[in-house]
Structure 1
């Protein structure tokens, strides 16, 4: 196997579990994105791979060779953190060149690599400036350029775009996939809390929660077939809405006297209580299923997300355009039963997915 394999990585510090039995394969030449909420264990996983965790059980193998016993300085790893780390007394060019000079690389090769890395992150014209003369976003790009300039076995990126302004983040997000995919001999692991970013960048997607891997696979497979309600919530933005319901024959009974027909993918389940999930984009404004009251409105460019109180529970609806609906406004909402996910009421495990995405 070419790539990195984690075998049972576990980290417990002062009875707090940071990682629990992580078993994953990170192929070379692919981008593995780890997504999860804050404190999911994403940074702990990267630090463990880099050799920076004080306590870590389990094994790491790179191309079949044991990596676990190597100290951090012998692992040939580059890491970009959420908070940019630069040398304040060096200019941009020297910050990027620093690790290359430490490896006694020829001057012309250093110049070529620095120029290429700075060009990729849009900082060529700032090469003589000190970090203190740059914006926060520009300083993060210096740290990114320093990592990209090196030939490393493993490239770790811990939410590298989180401190950039919105416009630059969108621009770099579009460029990142091609930029990182060009590193065919490198294991690339990228962390984020942003579902859109994860779907756009990933070849392999790993969903983490409370130090554990909940699901791993191709991004579209996880999006279409989330293993649990927790996974569905993590990879949905705006968040998936969840409603309690009872399946009785050919219909679903929800709170507030709301009744929905049971579509074929739901009707095959045994009668009982379930948890329904529906994505914000699948709800329709002006539908006839349930009445709601606007709690909060969030406008994101060309779309509006509405957070609603309804008789059957809280719903998040996303619609195109800017909707001029203030808190307290009354609306009607359409809930298409054929687009409902069904999860077990107790464990949250996926029981049935919408028929329109089944392969």
Structure 2
């Protein structure tokens, strides 16, 4: 039986946390909720878990109205962004605690705990106290406790956000392994994140949420390639997609005295103003390019983000190496027009490099 929600609304203090949210989640699948901070992700997960009651709408699972099912009977496990553990218990005791509450026999408890410890890379830490662990290790204990329960619905509320980059990468791969080895056959996994890269790497079905409202749903690749509007384009890219207000006239795109040859996929556009979108990775340094002024240079890992300005137009270029620049320094860049998106002034997608939409 699917997990089905219809018209969920939650509006405390006259502010929407959920605004007419509906979905149909199937067993054995991964669903990713993508949204900025305060978009309603945690509220939605807590509503599924029974920790919050919506003002209207309902949730059904296995022919049961969840509003009539107590929290402790929902067979739901949840991992929070801020990890929660029992500080007076050992790692093993933390993970086994909910299993003992369910009165599983010792053999099954040990197997479930051992499997969970292996998954999160904490084998050998069974007898350590929580205070002896790093923050990342403590989050892995919280994750292991939820995995050990083998719940039918597993809710992960930005579970990797407090972990270091290498461990985040490792655990993302572990999630895929968990599903491939059979957990997915019985479990609905719902994973919330603000990170578009996580969405693409997990490669599940995506719900883009903003101010409590569902903006777009679909496979991760579809969301990335064809964001339905400007808001989705911003949310589903990090850095957010650059938006340039420009004029399409005859065979060119023009803005800030820059003329770019119109790419083939935009040949049917009418002559008028549009919002042109381009990802930071599609803006390259080039001596043959157009001059921009550097407002800020950020080094992130092995990459450099250049915040550039020309007239009233501001863009971010992603340089795939570490480079040193000075503020107000002038650089030349070129735009890969084959990767231009076009949006109406009201924000609706008209066309993308992957698919053309008319109207």
TM bracket, shorter-chain basis:
over 0.9
Deviations 1:48-88 (A, max 9, x none): 11111144421112244432321222211000000111111
1:220-235 equivalence runs, <5 A:
220-235=221-236
Deviates more, 1:290-299 or 1:77-86: 290-299
Give the aligned partner of residue 150 of structure 2.
Answer: 151
Deviations 1:127-159 (A, max 9, x none): 111111111111111110000001212100000
Give the aligned partner of residue 73 of structure 2.
Answer: 74
Is 1:264 aligned to residue 264 of structure 2?
Answer: yes
Give the aligned partner of residue 238 of structure 2.
Answer: 237
CA distance in 2, matches of 1:169, 1:25: 28
Give the aligned partner of residue 276 of structure 1.
Answer: 276
Q: Contact 1:29/1:187 (CA < 8 Å) preserved in 2? A: yes
Q: Contact 2:350/2:356 (CA < 8 Å) preserved in 1? A: no
Give TM-score, length-normalised by structure 1. Answer: 0.94
- Tell me the SS of whatever aligns to 1:246: strand
Q: Contact 2:4/2:60 (CA < 8 Å) preserved in 1? A: yes
Give TM-score, length-normalised by structure 2. Answer: 0.94
Give the aligned partner of residue 188 of structure 1.
Answer: 189
Cα deviation for residue 109 of structure 1 reads 0.9
CA distance in 2, matches of 1:7, 1:85: 30
Give the aligned partner of residue 139 of structure 1.
Answer: 138
- Tell me the SS of whatever aligns to 1:22: strand
Give the aligned partner of residue 252 of structure 2.
Answer: 251
- Tell me the SS of whatever aligns to 1:124: coil
CA distance in 1, matches of 2:277, 2:87: 49
Q: Contact 1:258/1:289 (CA < 8 Å) preserved in 2? A: no
- Give unpaired runs (5+ residues) of structure 2: none
Give the aligned partner of residue 98 of structure 2.
Answer: 99
CA distance in 1, matches of 2:287, 2:17: 44
Q: Contact 1:243/1:312 (CA < 8 Å) preserved in 2? A: no
Give the aligned partner of residue 38 of structure 2.
Answer: 39
Is 1:167 aligned to residue 154 of structure 2?
Answer: no
CA distance in 1, matches of 2:152, 2:216: 25
Cα deviation for residue 294 of structure 1 reads 1.7
Give the aligned partner of residue 29 of structure 1.
Answer: 28
Cα deviation for residue 339 of structure 1 reads 1.4
Cα deviation for residue 262 of structure 1 reads 2.4
Distance 1:180 1:297, change over 3 A: farther
Q: Contact 2:38/2:211 (CA < 8 Å) preserved in 1? A: yes
Deviates more, 1:328-337 or 1:11-20: 328-337
Give the aligned partner of residue 292 of structure 1.
Answer: 292
- Give unpaired runs (5+ residues) of structure 1: none
Cα deviation for residue 300 of structure 1 reads 2.9
CA distance in 2, matches of 1:142, 1:57: 35
Deviations 1:276-312 (A, max 9, x none): 1100111111164421122222223332221111236
Cα deviation for residue 166 of structure 1 reads 2.2
CA distance in 2, matches of 1:69, 1:60: 10
Q: Contact 2:49/2:74 (CA < 8 Å) preserved in 1? A: yes
Give the aligned partner of residue 209 of structure 1.
Answer: 210
CA distance in 1, matches of 2:203, 2:51: 25
- Tell me the SS of whatever aligns to 1:126: coil
Give the aligned partner of residue 301 of structure 1.
Answer: 301
Alignment: residue pair count: 355
CA distance in 2, matches of 1:56, 1:261: 52
CA distance in 2, matches of 1:101, 1:345: 58
Q: Contact 1:81/1:160 (CA < 8 Å) preserved in 2? A: yes
- Tell me the SS of whatever aligns to 2:18: strand
Give the aligned partner of residue 335 of structure 1.
Answer: 335
Q: Contact 1:48/1:56 (CA < 8 Å) preserved in 2? A: no
* C-alpha RMSD of the superposition: 1.8
Q: Contact 1:37/1:193 (CA < 8 Å) preserved in 2? A: yes
Cα deviation for residue 358 of structure 1 reads 6.7
Deviates more, 1:37-46 or 1:174-183: 174-183
Moved over 4 A (4+): none
Deviates more, 1:22-31 or 1:188-197: 22-31
- Tell me the SS of whatever aligns to 1:163: coil
CA distance in 2, matches of 1:314, 1:172: 36
CA distance in 2, matches of 1:7, 1:289: 51
Q: Contact 1:6/1:22 (CA < 8 Å) preserved in 2? A: yes
Give the aligned partner of residue 128 of structure 2.
Answer: 129
